[in-house]
Amino acid sequence: MKKLYALILLLFSTSAFAHDMVPTYPELRPSYLDGVLVTDLELFNKRNDVEYYEIAVFDEYWNPVPFVTSYKILKLSYLDRIKFSVYIRSKDKDRATYICTKSRIRGESGPSTIISSMICSKLKKDY
Amino acid sequence: MFKKLLISMLFLVPFSVQSADIPITGNVQSRCVITTDTPGVYGNPNAYTLTTASADGGVQPIVRYDVTLANAYYAQITTPTSFAQSPSLSDTVTWTGSTEVSSISDATNMGSYETNKTTFGQTTQYDLTATGSTWFKSSSTATYGGNKAFPGGTYTANVEAICVAK
């Protein structure tokens, strides 16, 4: 029964309009720069109404934490997948808690609600 | 002799191509996937109200969370408090909104989601304690100040669906 459910879940999760990011618990590791840590994440755009995703890093109280990526806003076509690295200063490693990607929505025509999605991974603290 | 050899080679070559293996690799990781199941639509039951209530011609937005790791995520859904797009508005808009569980894939383990939810302001938080899919339905109503008519134009408001790792 569990296998059947997992299969159904897998099939459902391939439908359109979804925002998917892994890993759930990324780990910081030393980068090639002194005093800078890095972690890697992967984003998959299954939302055909979204082309751009914004990256943000927060502390546990949702205050922004400085970070560096190649692009803070990623252009990602429908069904495209992208791996990206987030660089955080060593001195911010205890503060940095969440790495999030948020969909950037285009305006719609007609009176409607639009759904923006944000997925936040939580940094492992056992380094 | 040469012709026979050539024919036998022609038979062998296609078979060797067909036997090539094409590996498919995959990596399973725990994840939370947010799916926009139904984008909402505002109905306009009178000149000064926009609402997603179906009785008033609206459509409630529905968002689905698929979780493959139990007890690892919070779902936070925030109903609109402003228009993302609208004509120029000279008066204040009053917003009301709420979110509720619309459907669940596991009645045994997800049945308590609705009773255990916490609400702060326009945001409703659910503790996703079980693996599977949960559909959340939001309602939103905007009322223009002093019962004035909303100016003509396009109105869009944003429901924010967040999945946060615990």
pLDDT above 70 for B38: yes
Please state, in angstroms and rounded to a whole number, the distance separating the CA atoms of residues B52 and B11.
67
All residues of chain B having their beta carbon less than 8 Å from the beta carbon of residue A12 are 66, 133
All residues of chain B having their beta carbon less than 8 Å from the beta carbon of residue A19 are 33-35
Number of domains within chain A: 1
All residues of chain B having their beta carbon less than 8 Å from the beta carbon of residue A8 are 105
A111 preceded by a cis bond (ω within 30 of 0): no
- pLDDT, one tens digit per residue, over A13-61 is 444 589 999 999 999 999 999 999 999 999 999 998 899 999 999 999 9
Within a domain: A127: no
CB contact under 8 A, B157 and A113: yes
Q: Find the CB nearest B156 among A46, A107, A121.
A: A107
In angstroms, what separates the C-alpha of B97 from chain A's closest C-alpha?
A: 12
Residues 6+ apart with CB under 8 A from A28: A37, A38, A39, A88, A93, A96, A123, A124, A127
Residue B18, number of CB atoms within 10 A of its CB: 7
Give the model's pLDDT for residue B19: 67
Q: Which residue of B has its CA nearest to A58?
A: B164
Model confidence at A64, in pLDDT bands (50, 70, 90)?
very high
Model confidence at A12, in pLDDT bands (50, 70, 90)?
very low
Domain around A43: 14-106+114-122
Which residue in B86, B36, B75 sits closest to B59, CA to CA? B36
Give the model's pLDDT for residue A17: 83
Do residues B80 and A113 touch, judged by C-beta distance below 8 A? yes
Q: Find the CB nearest B41 among A13, A49, A111.
A: A111
Within a domain: A63: yes
CB contact under 8 A, B33 and A116: no
CB contact under 8 A, A108 and B69: no
Which residue in B89, B110, B103, B115 sits closest to B38, CA to CA? B103
Residue A119, number of CB atoms within 10 A of its CB: 28
Please state, in angstroms and rounded to a whole number, the distance separating the CA atoms of residues A43 and A71.
13
CB contact under 8 A, B52 and A113: yes
CB contact under 8 A, B41 and A110: yes
In angstroms, what separates the C-alpha of A87 from chain B's closest C-alpha?
A: 20
Give the model's pLDDT for residue B6: 56
CB contact under 8 A, A5 and B37: no
Which one is predicted more confidently, A4 or B161?
A: B161
In angstroms, what separates the C-alpha of A61 from chain B's closest C-alpha?
A: 13
Angle at B133 between CA B131 and CA B134, to 5 degrees: 115
| CATH code where residue A89 lies | 2.60.40.10
Least confident of A28-37, B2-11, B27-36, B119-128: B2-11
Q: Find the CB nearest A113 among B44, B140, B166.
A: B140
Do residues B53 and B138 touch, judged by C-beta distance below 8 A? no
Mean per-residue pLDDT of chain A: 85
Residue A112: phi and psi, rounded to 5, are -150, 165
CB contact under 8 A, B61 and A47: no
Helix (H, G, I), strand (E, B) or coil at A51: strand
Which one is predicted more confidently, B7 or A101?
A: A101
Mean per-residue pLDDT of chain B: 89
CB contact under 8 A, A111 and B34: no
CB contact under 8 A, B158 and A111: no
Least confident of B13-22, B52-61, B85-94: B13-22
For domain B29-165, say whether CATH 1.10.20 is its number.
no
Do residues A114 and B83 touch, judged by C-beta distance below 8 A? no
Stretch B18-34: mean pLDDT: 80
Residues 6+ apart with CB under 8 A from B102: B62, B135, B136, B137
Angle at B104 between CA B99 and CA B108, to 5 degrees: 120
Residues 6+ apart with CB under 8 A from A65: A57, A58, A59, A88, A92, A95, A96, A97
Model confidence at A9, in pLDDT bands (50, 70, 90)?
very low
